[in-house]
Amino acid sequence: MRKFFGTDGIRGLTNQVPMTAEVAMRVGMAAGAHFLRGDHKHRVVIGKDTRLSGYMLENALVAGFTSVGMDVVQVGPMPTPAIAMLTRSMRADLGVMLSASHNPYHDNGIKLFGPDGYKLSDEDEAQIEHLLTVEPQLADAAFIGRAKRIDDARGRYIHAVKQSLPQSVRLDGLRIALDCANGAAYNSAPTVFWELGADVIAIGVSPNGVNINDKCGSTAPALLQETVVASGADIGIALDGDADRLIVVDEKGAIVDGDQIMGLIGASWARQGRLKGGGVVATVMSNLGLERFLEGEGLRLERTKVGDRYVLERMKEGGFNVGGEQSGHMILSDHATTGDGTLAALQVLAELVASGKPASELLHQFDPVPQMLKNVRFSGGKPLDDKQVQAAIAEGEAALNGRGRLVIRPSGTEPLIRVMAEGDDAAEVERVVDMICDAVRSAA
């Protein structure tokens, strides 16, 4: 069992282990020591979102990295995908993003990227975990690292994102409502869309250290929905705190999730001859309607465990270039090594311009089948091993009888069993979910 690393780096409540300045400094020492390979001068790029605790944790990381002989480049508030891109383009040995993504301000996290711009493998994380438990090998006084801030990093990222579109594609005349969640993309995302010609109505662009994701962004799109309708916008774009996630709102104020976005991009790229792998990669939580839609387009849907890292692993294994999650993580590997909400939004906007259709029509690629998800909290043990629970699951599968899907899984971060069912009959889906939840509660 790993003590520090979870499914997406290290994350927790600020000023409680593992999100303390002391642990951050130790992470800097351990990760720095792990990536000291060869006799060249080593470099790490550090970015952050807009959380107040970012100042404290960033300085602690700088102390850790420089103490083992790594030079540090600090780029300030930047989206997570920007740090992945800069790590690779600046030939850094390591990249670090300080963010807890869509969580409230009082949480924070440490995400690490290797020199190739990809998140670290399980093996790398395990070795860093080990180094956290041993005495660090500090650099001799003459070889302590240096730290500096650079001012052009945001411009590099903005240019790279715009380059994902052909130069002939413009957003002139398009009215976009944009919610940056008071997070890492508060400056870069409005600039990208404006420079491409759009009329941008920006909200969630006044971070104060504690308002990140607060009633705004991709996990709280109500404000964006109101803004789209009130302003007469053609479309709404919502990012999360570190801007690796995207949710869209159409001109009528309706929310469009990641499944519809994957369907749009996958089918469009296939028609253009750009899609690789013969389909799209998504998780077990993606709607059955997406799978049926892609099959109708002659494409397949590859499913993985929940988590964008598992999506990316399958994409790399199978040669796919479009993948993501229903929650809005979009990975377009022709242009990025991790999820990028701004980049994915540009692909949607390019389709909107090319089609001449309203967003409500363009983004309705398929009718989702009825889907229900419920969580059951338990205090200990393994409820899924209980015979009554297993019998309820078997009964549920028989009831859906090939006309739906059942996904039962324990949460990776909380003592919860997640029960999801979907199928053509909404009443049957609800009955199956409630039956299984009752069995889990009884066992727990």
53, 67, 99, 101: the catalytic one is 101
User: Quick one: pLDDT band at residue 307, thresholds 50, 70, 90?
Assistant: confident
CA 272/CA 345 separation, integer angstroms: 18
The pTM (predicted TM-score) of the whole model is 0.92
- At the topology level, CATH places domain 10-151 in Alpha-D-Glucose-1,6-Bisphosphate; Chain A, domain 3 (3.40.120)
Q: Which pLDDT score, from 0 to 100, does residue 95 have? A: 98
Helix (DSSP H) and strand (DSSP E) numbers for the chain: 14, 18
- Under the banding of pLDDT at 50, 70 and 90, the label for residue 380 is confident
Separation between Cα atoms, residue 431 and residue 209, nearest integer Å: 44
Question: pLDDT, tens digit, for every residue of 323-353?
Answer: 999 999 999 999 999 999 999 999 999 999 9
Helix (H, G, I), strand (E, B) or coil at 301: strand
What's the CATH number for 371-443?
3.30.310.50
Residue 7 has pLDDT above 80, yes or no: no
Here the tokens at position 358 are 């309203």
Residue 435 scores a pLDDT above 90: yes
The values of phi and psi at residue 73, to 5°, are -115, 120
Looking at residue 370, what is its pLDDT? 95
Give the integer Cα–Cα distance in Å for 107 and 51. Answer: 8
Q: What is the pLDDT of residues 171-195, one digit of tens each?
A: 999 999 999 999 999 999 999 999 9
Over range 306-314, report the average pLDDT.
91
Mean predicted confidence (pLDDT) in 248-258:
97
Is residue 13 very low, low, confident or very high in pLDDT (cuts 50, 70, 90)?
A: very high
Mean pLDDT across the stretch 148-154?
Answer: 94
Q: How many CB atoms lie within 10 A of CB 138?
A: 13
Helix 341-355 to helix 153-162 angle, to the nearest 10 degrees? 30
Q: Is 47 in a helix, a strand, or coil?
A: strand
Does residue 74 register a pLDDT over 90? Answer: yes
Q: What was the pLDDT predicted at 385?
A: 92
Determine the pLDDT at residue 1.
Answer: 60
pLDDT at 30: 97
Per the annotation, the verdict on 188 as an active-site residue is no
Mean pLDDT across 110-133: 95
Average pLDDT along the chain: 95
DSSP 319: T
Extents of the domains making up the chain: 10-151, 157-254, 256-341, 371-443
Fold entry, domain 256-341: Alpha-D-Glucose-1,6-Bisphosphate; Chain A, domain 3 (3.40.120)
Centre a 10 Å sphere on the Cβ of residue 291 and count the other Cβ atoms it contains: 23
Q: How confident is the model at residue 403 (pLDDT cuts 50, 70, 90)?
A: confident
Angle between helices 188-195 and 341-355 (to 10 degrees): 20
Q: Do domains 256-341 and 371-443 have the same CATH topology?
A: no
- The rounded percent of the chain whose pLDDT value lies above 90 is 91
For the stretch 257-290, pLDDT in tens is 999 999 999 999 999 999 999 999 999 999 999 9
| Cα 125–Cα 127–Cα 131 angle in degrees, nearest 5 | 115
- Rounded to whole angstroms, the Cα distance separating 167 from 159 reads 12
Strands 94-98 and 416-423: unpaired
**Architecture per CATH, 157-254:** 3-Layer(aba) Sandwich (3.40)
Q: What Cα–Cα distance (Å) separates residue 362 from each residue in 54, 160, 235, 265?
A: 39, 26, 11, 11
